[in-house]
Amino acid sequence: MRPSCPIDWIQFKPAPTRITMFIRNAWTVAATAAEIDALRDGKPLARQICGERWVFFRGPDGRVAALEDFCPHRGAPLSLGRVCDGELVCGYHGLRMGCDGKTVSMPGQRVRGFPAIRALPVIEHAGFVWVWPGDPARATPDALPALPWATREGVAPGWAYGGGLYHVACDWRLMVDNLMDLTHETYVHAGSIGQPEIDETPCQTRAQGDEVVTSRFMAGIQAPPFWRDALAMNGLPTDQPVDRWQVCRFTPPSHVMIEVGVALAGRGGIDAPDDAKAAAVVVDFITPETATTMHYFWGMARRFRADDAELTERIRQGQGRIFDEDRALLEQQQRNLSAHPQRELLKLNIDSGGVMARRVIERLAAAEAAAMPAAA
């Protein structure tokens, strides 16, 4: 049995996790539309993104607004207030804030000269609420990531999607590393999607502009438990050899889409007809909260038995358990890195996807920093 990667490693010192590195000039998932719609008693949604606190609510036209969570009167968090007739009412002195960040009214006060607060560009797409934390002049719908399984309104016809949201106490870049290196599946997810053949099969990584793609193809193997179940769900035999694939795609600022699946051996692998495979897209939207915490929107989109809501929920629960294993490991990893910021880490061949993704992140973040006006 040969290792997937020869020992031609070098040492490297990554940017310390205590240093904040965010990309702001890009669409970032702030919430799901379902989260906003589930709010009760007029409460808005508070969320910290890229180190800044924001508050979300639906305006009078039903569109989602995203404002600084800061009342211009005395600095109280606007998220402690309530939404009334599409305006956000501060819970401290009753100031009413519009969706554009301008004060509408306040009991007993003239508000014409009140300073505005920041309002982020917002788009609802594919069931998610996207914000642009950077220069609003650069925010265009064309900059949204391509999602073949989705439409503006939600899930595309012929597809099914189920997912969830985890708060993870780690640097968001550690999650990018994790998702761009699926060798860890053999060990972290041994009871579900892991198997030795992942270790034994080399991965190939390439950069295409700002996109990084790392892939692994395994031929004539036995499917692990999760994928045996998926084969059965699609009416396929579970006792025959399969061809398995993993194609991980990173795009800025922090999205990872992973094409995964198994096909009956010799039927074409990733290109096999739908009736010979169980395939899906693992959806990962990673939203930095602080330098060492993040919001992780995870899910899976599939094209087999797309109208089976019960199956969608079964897969969602199984995937949730898998990602909870990642969360537990990454949070422990973050504790170690925070306790030993001077330690140098190793960069191996299996880390190439995460390493290349970090280079893209560092380049874009540096370009944004260079373009910012110098502090007075």
DSSP secondary structure letters along 49-69? ETTEEEEEEE-TTS-EEEEES
- In the chain, % of residues over pLDDT 70: 94
- Walk me through the domains of the chain, giving residue ranges and CATH numbers: 28-141 (2.102.10.10), 157-371 (3.90.380.10)
Q: 373 pLDDT exceeds 80? A: no
Instruction: Tell me the pLDDT tens digit for each residue of 245-299.
Output: 999 999 999 999 999 999 999 999 999 999 999 999 999 999 999 999 999 999 9
* Distance between CA atoms of residues 44 and 54, nearest Å: 10
Buried b (16+ CB within 10 A) or exposed e, 244-281: bbbbbbbbbbbbbbbbbbbbbbeeebbebeeebbbbbb
- pLDDT of the residue at 17: 39
Kindly state the tokens that stand for 213: 């793609």
Q: What is the pTM of this model?
A: 0.92
More confidently predicted of 254 and 370 = 254
In the three-class reduction of DSSP (H, G, I as helix; E, B as strand; rest coil), residue 113 is classed as coil
**Element (DSSP H or E) covering residue 212:** strand 211-221
